[in-house]
Structure 1
Amino acid sequence: MTTSYAADGRRGDCKRSRPGRARTDVHCMELSILIPTHGRPEKLGACIAALARQTMDPGDFEVIVGIDGPDRGEAEATARAAGGRIRPRVEALPKRGPAATRNGMLELARGRFILLLNDDVVPDADCAAAHVRAQAAPARSDRPAMVLGSAPWRVHENDTLFDALVRETSLIFFYDRMTEDEDPERDWGFRHAWTLNLSAPTAALRAVGGFCESLRDACYEDLEMAWRVQRELWLPVLHRPEAIVTHDHRVTPDEYMERERRLGRSAWDLATVNPGCAQDVFRRDVASDAELEDARRYIDRDRPDAARGEEALRRLAAIPTRVVDSAERGRLLRSVYELHLPMKRRLWRMGLVEGAGVTNGLHATR
């Protein structure tokens, strides 16, 4: 058990890997690609098949797949997709969440740099090489960095306006804001360190103890890790859009709404485990009594506005993108995005209150 200290001196218990636990920083290759997975062998297979087609010499990178729980076809899917062109290492690990799974793979990594991928992304052929070029650039010799690649969403044949809302706004990620900035050395901060396509020096991740295993859900565990890397090692988060993966995850309105509620629950966990990080993420103490009381008031007060936002999202999911021209679509999506914000905030606050109730043994607001 590693004890983490927040900026204000409070303590939170955060189980992490022990720095340097597996081996010293003597590297056999340039890049270790780490992919946590659970119950999605088809998605994983598509990711592995794309990695088998990389322009980078297979001898310069390795692929490690960490199964979060028992093998449910992931090993077979990996071997089939690799086709003998690459030889991924597959590790079935205890079911403890993506943070612990990544730590298990981090201990095994032999590369100078780590590339963290989701199992539902399809890397472009030059993705691995682009990350290595970014990490090994002369400017990085004095200033190592975490490098975020781009992750455009897959466009489906029966594309809807809700799909477009996911792709073209900050509904889930903030890539739409990042593409407008032309400064390649801009530090986007730890809040943009999304591990669906993120690379970093292996030594840096090991130095801070990897990921916080107390954060068992796939929410904020990546930002919490990046917060420590920035705080302890001063590594910036740089955006390199040429390092591309396609995100093959079609989000439905129901899934999106459940995600927002889960983010609220996980916010309570983050505030419990690492209060300093939570303060920097949310710009306030989300675990305070005042915050919880405000959340309860918001839940009751904004029910009608939230219902209108939900209705708007569901309507978008029923409208094909092709029936609206691009100029009109942009205006419509911006309007619906603003309209849905009360719903988004209400769901997050419902999750926060639920998280507090579970932790404190209280009856959570439903």
Structure 2
Amino acid sequence: MIRACFICLLGLLAQTAHAAEPPAFSRIVMFGDSLSDTGKMYGKMRGYLPSSPPYHEGRFSNGPVWLEHLATYFPGLKIANEAEGGATAVAYNKISWHPKYQVINNLDYEITQFLQKDALQPDDLVILWVGANDYLAYGWNTEQDAKRVRDAISDAANRLVLNGAKQILLFNLPDLGQNPSARSQQVVEAASHVSRYHNELLQNLARQLAPTGLVRLFDIDKQFDEMLREPQNFGLSDTEHACYDGGYVWKPFSARSAASDGQLAAFAPAERLAIAGNPLLAQAVASPMMRKSAPLNCEGKMYWDQVHPTRVVHAALGERAGAFIESQYEFIPR
């Protein structure tokens, strides 16, 4: 409540006589995880993660991700993207010394990385889409965990406002129990429950902040629900099975494997431990056989791998997100 009231106060102080007009934006500043990563993890891991091929040019999919499709709606749009594969909302490295938390990124540090090289402008639209790794990759899937994720997102919004953000767009989560990963890990019920509860918390947060005009919410879960209900409308015929199944949790991180595979040897021991501790990242280090195999035919598939959508789904999400942004904001190219 204190977090919400703090942003409310800032918003009330910032309101002007033109508050009824749609806020203008010229650039998107993105914070998130692999669903929005356009190559940051790939660069961080020196071109080895995600393995490309079979992953597309450092994306966690078989094609461009939703964020890249926004240029169709907004020609000349500039994007500053700090989203990184594996990133969490909560900074678990501050509460646990487990090696798997020491390499991955988190929302607060993504903001730090942005502010170290750039500054928020009044015409930036800041988007936050994060939380799936907290619940699905690391198993923090109780209601108390969801409250901690919500608090991390709220704290991030406060920090962004204090650093000049004038408009923040929150994305909620799809039903995490519907993807192949939840079935593989046999956590369908827990993943579905925590993602629903997460969305309730985020909805309440957005409602509390609505009077400020600073924060809005995009219900991306509704887009995924529609795809599951009427997949044929999106060119989909299989909403349950992954197109790429290179082994959900295989064992590429042993000393013997690293010595025999130049790609794995490129990872430092801490990096291998961190990747092995996140099954969603571990799958993206493809086996030598998969890296050399012919491109996969993913026609009709909703999921590229155990959790990441195919390029067809990303294109649809980009279209829906673009339409929502167009209805809520005014794009003015710089």
What's the TM-score, normalizing by structure 1? Answer: 0.27
Q: Counting strand residues as a fraction of each chain, which structure ranks higher?
A: 1
Larger radius of gyration, structure 1 or 2?
1
